[in-house]
Structure 1
Amino acid sequence: MSRNAEDAEEFGVLQSKRNATRYQILVQIAERQPAVNQQEIADAIGITAQAVSDYLQDLVEHGYVNKHGRGRYEVTKEGVDWLITQTDELRGFVRHVSEDVIGQVEIETAIATTEIEEGETVSLTMRDGVLRAMAGDTGSATAVAVTDAAAGRDVGITNVEGVVDYELGTVTIVSVPQVQNGGSSAVDPDRLSKLAADHDLIAVGGAEAVVAADAAGLDPDVRFGSSAAVQEAATKGLDTLLLVSTDLLSAHTDKLREQNLSYEVVDAAA
């Protein structure tokens, strides 16, 4: 056997099916020791009980496991060290796949603002809450197009570099009292109309808020799942006016605080 083959056999969980099974069995023993049921291990990793028995004998011979009588096994220091070595190798491989492989082939979608050809470098901007791509590398963030696209069409991009330069959106909140405390009639519709004119998006939460928006002649962009929608809109640079009943207010503000997004609660009383 060549030295490379010996290295794979001795150290390579990913190169050796034998070592991959050894690894799984050692983990199972470590979790269950000292009372180890071979059938349970067999069921857990999908091999026969006889195969588990053979592997256990092999692990004992290699000094990775001590046997203390029928059905009683314990992983030795050497076995723990081997598990650590193999786990570090697996972590390194997962990191390589996630960062160097998947990261290189991850495809995002943008809207083309110019004609773009596959393989062309593009500059990225954020407008109206949507990623935009323009032919050329003049922007603070660039990517490579993986599809052709005419202006106004969707384009696939990958290998994003740099940071898309844009400001987070603002969130202005109008708390609408619950119906027993006046409901929508406690809110000034003219005040709502003026506030709405300064925002990109209107969201509502709760029946009182829906009625208040209707009384002000507003057509909300978001009626359902507004807490998550407002949070996402702000992260994409959209200024949002949120009308929300008081009983739902904390659910919305908690979401914003979780993402370190600022908001302002304003008075729109009638």
Structure 2
Amino acid sequence: MRILREKSLATKLLLLLEILLKKPSKLTFLADAVGITPQAVSEYIKRLTKEGFVVQNDGRYQVTKEGVAFVHSHFLELKRFTEERIKYLDIIDRCIAVAGGDIQKGERVGLFMKKGHLVAFPNKKSSSTGVALRDARHGEDVPVGELEGIAEHYLGNLYIIPISYSIEMGSRDIPLDKVRDAFDEMRCDKVAVGDTVARSIVKSLGKNVDFEFAPIEASLEAVKKGLSVCFLGPTRQVERLISRVNKFNSSSPDKIIYRFIDI
């Protein structure tokens, strides 16, 4: 992709684009538009004229047919390049958030991650902002467009409690007082269980089970959204969970931090 590697080519194309759109008569206009000195513009114009891309008619600079073809070919190449790469960057220009207050269509909103949900607050400063695409009441979903920036977001913590038991005894093999102490220490947002025995243990402690089905996938999604999760399960499930965490960490700049709690 020459246009990204060669500064001189990029400058040529910017100058040709400005001439094509504005047909200026003064070099100072081009210098201000492109951000280089008038002397540098003069040198580029000489080069572009010699290459047959620019002519001067009635005191105004104009782009020739050859110059237009030159601009079109390079910008189409750039368009194809960016479109192909954008597919892999997961870039979005619109999203749906929860209204953090009553919002009017066209109002600027600040976007924040709150308890695992993207929340839009009217006229609140944020590292990520957008414009409400319709009216929304507090707590209602609201579509947001014209997105700018990235919302501040941190991964949650993952606490893992491996359990080992016999088929005959099941949850009775597990010291419940130690599990209770572990839960008190961790203060998790969500609780995941890897099997029936783990579910029985959590229920016997009077706690809610948040992730019972597909607990590994659900736990990772919650952690990615900034929630702290406690995963209680047998060794085979714990190994699968750690494998998924390591796979995520190997391909992401943000790393999931996990901690084992022995009981």
TMscore range, shorter length = 0.5 to 0.7
> Under a length normalisation based on structure 1, what TM-score does the superposition of the two structures give?
0.59
Find the counterpart in structure 1 of residue 199 from structure 2: 210
Measured after TM superposition, the shift of residue 160 of structure 1 is 2.4
- SS at structure 1 position matched to 2:154: coil
Would the alpha carbon gap of residues 193 and 134 (structure 1) be closer, same or farther in structure 2, given more than 3 Å must change? same
Find the counterpart in structure 1 of residue 261 from structure 2: 266
- SS at structure 1 position matched to 2:153: coil
- Once residues 144 and 106 of structure 2 are traced to their aligned partners in structure 1, the CA distance between those partners, rounded to angstroms, is 9
Amino acid across the alignment from 2:158: V
Find the counterpart in structure 2 of residue 130 from structure 1: 117
- Once residues 253 and 208 of structure 1 are traced to their aligned partners in structure 2, the CA distance between those partners, rounded to angstroms, is 20
Would the alpha carbon gap of residues 177 and 90 (structure 1) be closer, same or farther in structure 2, given more than 3 Å must change? farther
Find the counterpart in structure 1 of residue 25 from structure 2: none
Measured after TM superposition, the shift of residue 213 of structure 1 is 1.4
Identical aligned residues as a percent: 26
Find the counterpart in structure 2 of residue 112 from structure 1: 99
- Once residues 110 and 239 of structure 2 are traced to their aligned partners in structure 1, the CA distance between those partners, rounded to angstroms, is 39
Count how many residue pairs are aligned between Structure 1 and Structure 2.
180
Would the alpha carbon gap of residues 105 and 129 (structure 1) be closer, same or farther in structure 2, given more than 3 Å must change? closer
Measured after TM superposition, the shift of residue 151 of structure 1 is 1.1
Find the counterpart in structure 1 of residue 225 from structure 2: 236
Deviations 1:10-30 (A, max 9, x none): xxxxxxxxxxxxxxxxxxxxx
Question: Matches of residues 1-270 of structure 1 in structure 2 within 5 Å?
Answer: 92-93=79-80, 95-96=82-83, 99=86, 106-180=93-167, 183-197=170-184, 198-260=187-249, 261-268=256-263
Deviations 1:118-150 (A, max 9, x none): 222110111111011101151111122112111
- Once residues 147 and 175 of structure 2 are traced to their aligned partners in structure 1, the CA distance between those partners, rounded to angstroms, is 46
Amino acid across the alignment from 1:249: V
Amino acid across the alignment from 2:146: N
Would the alpha carbon gap of residues 95 and 206 (structure 1) be closer, same or farther in structure 2, given more than 3 Å must change? same
Find the counterpart in structure 2 of residue 10 from structure 1: none
> Under a length normalisation based on structure 2, what TM-score does the superposition of the two structures give?
0.60
Contact 1:171 1:239 in 2 (8 A): yes
- SS at structure 2 position matched to 1:126: strand
Q: CA RMSD in A?
A: 2.9
Contact 1:168 1:234 in 2 (8 A): yes
- Once residues 227 and 91 of structure 2 are traced to their aligned partners in structure 1, the CA distance between those partners, rounded to angstroms, is 29
Amino acid across the alignment from 1:205: G
